[in-house]
Chain A
Amino acid sequence: MTRPALDVSRLPPIAVDSRGTLWWGMVGLMAIEGTMVALLVATYFYLRLQAVQWPPPGALDGGLLLPTLALLVLLVSVVPMYLADHAVKERDRWGVVLYTTINVTMALVFMGMRAVEMRRLTFRWDSHAYGSIYWSILGLHTSHVIASTVESIVLVALIARGFFHDEQRLGLRTDGLYWYFVVGAWVPLYAILFLFPRWQ
């Protein structure tokens, strides 16, 4: 049976932007992770409601300076990620490699600061419920930073080797999207962990 055909052969073979399925998949992942973050926040305040004293004495001895500087590093790291994303659109391979490397470096600096921050804490996850939720929030966010950074390292290594096809370009753009999410999620979490107990 002969049927009229809708010829799609002239459509682009991939969309390196928000129309691509990979981009949508990343949005789905972010929805899941975002729900997870919201649940941690809810847990924090639920435990706060039950608590006689919040935070427990001595829990704020770690200080505010280092975490605030770390937050700034994280916020500034969005700039090279944005530039890398822009370079992807321009098909500027070495721009992508340069800016992603700067971003990865900043992420590593952040992780170093995070490690020092963790060592300075005067309580552990098994000290009290405050410690449990505190370390959980810190741990969940750190693992996201690590996962996103490893993804960036693998992608930038591939792109530097010359794998700069549309698949990798879309991959880097969604990786950037995820990085924005990881940074964006830290802003309320930082406020809850560091500002709320001081000015509640």
Chain B
Amino acid sequence: MTVDEASPEGQRERERLERAWDTQPGIVGWLSNIHHKAVGKRYIATAFVFFALAGVEALLMRIQLARPGSHLLNPDLYNQIFTMHGTTMMFLFAVPVMEGVAIYVVPLMIGTRNVAFPRLNALSYYMYLFGGVFLYVMFFLSMGPDAGWFAYVPLAGPEYAPGKRVDVWAQMITFTELSALLGAVELVVSIMKMRAPGMSLNRIPLFVWAILVDSLMIIFAMPAIMAASSYLILDRLIATHFFNPAEGGDALLWQHLFWFFGHPEVYIIFVPALGMVSTIVSTFSRRPIFGYTAMVLALVSTGFIGFGLWVHHMFATGLPQLGLSFFSAASMLIAIPTGVQIFCWIATLWLGRPRLELPLLFVMGFVVIFLIGGLTGVMLASAPLDQQVHDTFFVVAHLHYVLIGGALFPLLGALVYWFPKMSGRMLAETPGKWAFWLLFAGFNLTFFPMHQLGLRGMPRRVYTYPAESGWGNLNLLATAGGVVLGVGLLVLLADVAWSVRRGAVAAASPWGGDTLEWATTSPPPEYNFVYPPTVGGLNALWVATDQQPVVAGLRSDRREVLITRTVDAQPDHRAVLPQDSIWPFLTAVAISFTFVGSIFRAWFVPVGAVPVLIGLVGWFWPRGEPLPREEAAPRRQLALEDQP
């Protein structure tokens, strides 16, 4: 059997698919859209709105700290702003934006038409959106959290943080973690069961591997923060005693639970970035990645070791000597898989014919910045040095080098890389390069002086400092750098806004990449592929010939996808994905009503459960008609149909 997209039959197939995968117009249609590309783009756009808000907060802090003795912000507002900055960047930007990119790219990369549970995907987005909006509404009502992004008890407990502020923080965690967990299950199942025929485990693109490891990390790390924030909110609202030493609780329990999530969280942000870097390095070196198996093993071992590090955030809490040594060793150990990957990237570039285009430029920026962050990380892994600079600007410098270097630069590189696929147009390169250099210079100007400030003893989270401290000039330098960084982001934003409308029209595969998203048009149709691809080797598109088969025979009058076996990705059965639906949105509204109400009155939980249940029943209401009474079990006939 052969097929041809350009033939009349191919055209008819395309029209049928258009009908089956079409979305409804209007606001209800918009809210009912459950396509992974729409949800992914909404995730990314929403995340960047929160990124901008957190960036404004960062600039406010920098302006406040530019000179000693400044009174632009009062201490209370400053506390809220640094809490909002950290909370927004971690929970409303870094994790969701990585999931958003994954939701957009992964189904294309594995050659299928949507994620495994599209409605759950939409619910996950709305929970994230509502959680973020809730946080900011409360912030503007002067009920923004003010106990830092990790909300240590007893500062965040009922005794020292009365009012609703920390409740808002804890409930925002519930929103965003629920969203992240749903997204993670979604991605794991899609990657396990929906890969193109032939994409066996040893042929999965590195970005997809990274997302698989990342999603599994989310599944096992995020429940810890759910537990911790639930205990916190219970302590605050119904007077339980988890963190109250007077009644047998323990404040350090919070730190253990928080960092059991919080350290893997760093890798949850970083691992997708590793996948992005590998993808970009391979494409722009124009050769397969050096040491694919070593890269996969490095990703997987990062996923495991990431869970063994949490206590290194607690070196200053008086732990037993053996504990200190163990976690110190683990913290140094994790440098090994990262080192393996860096050497593999260098080897790939070395052996290839690199083209220094914009995505690769961002990757180069990543290597430089992340290397510095990694070096200060190795320094901090040593418990004595950590004791010395604990809670100073040295740690602020380190974490920004790791997170901005390790996640933001690869992310921006990846968004430039996939921009043509998402928008159908090329990003204008010259302003992009300007933006890159402004970001790179501005970043180092902002954060490098903070190392020195920390070594000189400037504590973090102080709203001002005396002139005699001698910290003024370095702070002024950092603030100037912050402004350059902000200008760089504005240039990039302007470039995106211009290119979306006026950029050169992009070909299907403008960079010559090897992964399957480049096998379809830019932007892809709603159903992604008229005939989904199959895979004949590790670098799918580079090894494919004209004779590489495509998948035919999926029904095109409904949303059908192919399910393949987990290990060898051989075709197993077909599955029908659901129609667009407003129910995920309504369910998200009902859940949000319950979550928000419950921080004011406990009875919102049982009362809110009713609309949530209605939402879920509406969601799962079966399509089609009930079977006629007498032939509920036409056993033989149906059983025959089920055979392949």
Contact = CB atoms under 8 A, between A and B. Distances in A.
A86 interface: no
Contacts of B256: 46
Contacts of A7: 1, 552-553
Interface residues of A, number: 62
Given A1-B6, A91-B635, A35 B575 contact: no
Given A13-B576, A43-B227, A32 B219 contact: yes
A40 B250 contact: no
B553 A129 contact: no
Contacts of A10: 553, 644
Nearest to B194: A21
B573 A12 contact: yes
B551 A8 contact: yes
A128 interface: yes
B250 A126 contact: no
A91 B632 CA distance: 8
A130 B613 CA distance: 32
Given A12-B643, A15-B573, A93-B632, A46 B189 contact: no
Interface string A47-74: 1001110001000000000000000000
A6 B563 contact: no
A165 B624 contact: yes
Interface string B274-294: 000000000000000000000
A25 B624 contact: no
A6 B534 contact: yes
B571 A125 contact: no
A6 B188 CA distance: 25
Contacts of B571: 6, 8, 11
B644 A129 contact: no
B2 A3 contact: yes
Contact of B574 (A11, A31, A158, A162): A11
A126 B158 CA distance: 13
Interface residues of B, number: 85
A101 interface: no
Contacts of B613: 150
Contacts of A125: 234, 238-240
Given A14-B576, A50-B250, A39 B3 contact: no
B26 interface: no
A92 B248 contact: no
Nearest to A36: B223
Given A8-B562, A13-B576, A28-B185, A165 B4 contact: no
A2 interface: yes
Contact of A12 (B242, B531, B623, B642): B642
Contacts of A163: 622, 624, 626-627
A47 B638 contact: no
A8 B617 contact: no
A19 B573 contact: yes
Interface string B247-260: 11110010011000
B574 A13 contact: yes
Interface string B235-273: 100111110100111100100110000000000000000
Given A3-B531, A5-B553, A91-B633, A126 B239 contact: yes
A20 B565 CA distance: 10
A9 B242 contact: no
A61 to B, nearest CB: 18
Contacts, number: 221
A195 B181 CA distance: 33
Given A1-B4, A21-B193, A129-B244, A32 B185 contact: yes
A121 interface: no
Contacts of B257: 39, 43
Nearest to B216: A31
Contacts of B120: 25
Interface in B165-192: 181, 184-186, 188-189, 192
B218 to A, nearest CB: 9
B249 A132 contact: yes
A188 to B, nearest CB: 16
A24 B562 CA distance: 15
Contacts of B632: 93-94, 162, 164
Interface in B185-218: 185-186, 188-189, 192-194, 197
B240 A132 contact: yes
B532 to A, nearest CB: 9
A142 interface: no
A129 B242 contact: yes
B574 A93 contact: no
Given A13-B574, A93-B632, A132-B249, 16 more contacts: A2-B2, A4-B549, A6-B551, A7-B552, A12-B641, A14-B574, A35-B220, A43-B257, A91-B633, A92-B633, A125-B238, A127-B247, A131-B241, A133-B242, A136-B234, A165-B622
Q: Shortest 5 CB-CB distances between A and B: which pairs?
A: A162-B626, A9-B553, A129-B248, A28-B185, A132-B240
16 contacts: A3-B546, A7-B552, A9-B552, A12-B642, A24-B116, A46-B250, A47-B242, A52-B248, A91-B635, A126-B241, A128-B241, A132-B242, A162-B628, A164-B627, A164-B633, A167-B623
